[in-house]
Amino acid sequence: MFESLSHIQRTIVFEKKGLFAVKACPGSGKTYTTAARLAHKLNNWQLSTRGIAVLSFTNVAWHEIRKMLDQNLGMTINFPHHLGTLDSFINKFIFLPFGHLIMGCGKRPILVGEPHGTWSAGNYDYDYDYDQYFDCTSFSINDGVIPTTADFKRFHFKWRNKDGSESGHVNRLRETKMKYWKQGYATQADANYFSLKILEKYPNIAQSIAMRFPELIIDEAQDTSEIQMGIINKLIDNGLKNVMLVGDPDQAIFEWNDARPDLFIDKFNEWGKNSVVLDENRRSSQNICNVTYNLTSRDNPPVAVNETVKNYGHIPEVICYKPECIQQTIDYFLHLCEQHQIEISHEKVAVIFRSKSIQSQILSQPERIEHPWLVGRYYVRDIAKSKYMAEKGRILDAFKLAEKAIYKGLHNKNYCSANDLNNWILERGFVHHRQNIMHILRCLPSPTGSIIEWVKQASDILRCHNMPIKMNLKPNCVDCSFDELFRITEDCSERFRIGTVHTVKGETFDAVLLILKERGAKGGYYRTMLSQGLKTLDDEELRIAYVGMTRPSKLLVIAVPSEKSRTVWELKLLN
CA angle 208, 209, 214 (to 5 degrees): 105
24 assigned ligand-binding residue: yes
For 352, phi then psi, to 5°, come to -125, 165
Q: Under the phi-then-psi rule, with left for phi > 0, alpha for psi from -120 to 50, and beta for the rest, what region is 21? A: beta
User: 27 among the known binding-site residues?
Assistant: yes
CA–CA distance from 573 to each of 86, 242, 570 (Å)? Answer: 35, 39, 5
253: Cβ contacts below 8 Å, ≥ 6 apart: 259, 501, 502, 505, 540, 543, 544, 547
Q: Do the annotations mark residue 25 as ligand-binding? A: yes
397 closest CA partner among 457, 343, 426, 437: 437
Q: How far apart are CA 237 and CA 126, in angstroms?
A: 48
Residue 532: is it exposed, middle or buried by C-beta count within 10 angstroms (0-12/13-18/19+)? exposed
Known binding residue 301? Answer is no
- 191 annotated among ligand-binding-site residues: no
Measure Cα distances from 237 to 203, 208, 230, 233, 234 in Å. Answer: 9, 12, 10, 6, 5
Decide: 289 and 301 in contact? Cβ < 8 Å: yes
Q: What separation in angstroms does the CA of 54 have from each of 39, 83, 239? A: 11, 5, 18
Q: Are 499 and 352 in contact (CB under 8 A)?
A: yes
Distance CA 148, CA 190 (A): 10
31 annotated binding-site participant:
yes
Residues at the binding site for ATP are 24-31
- Binding site residue list: 24-31
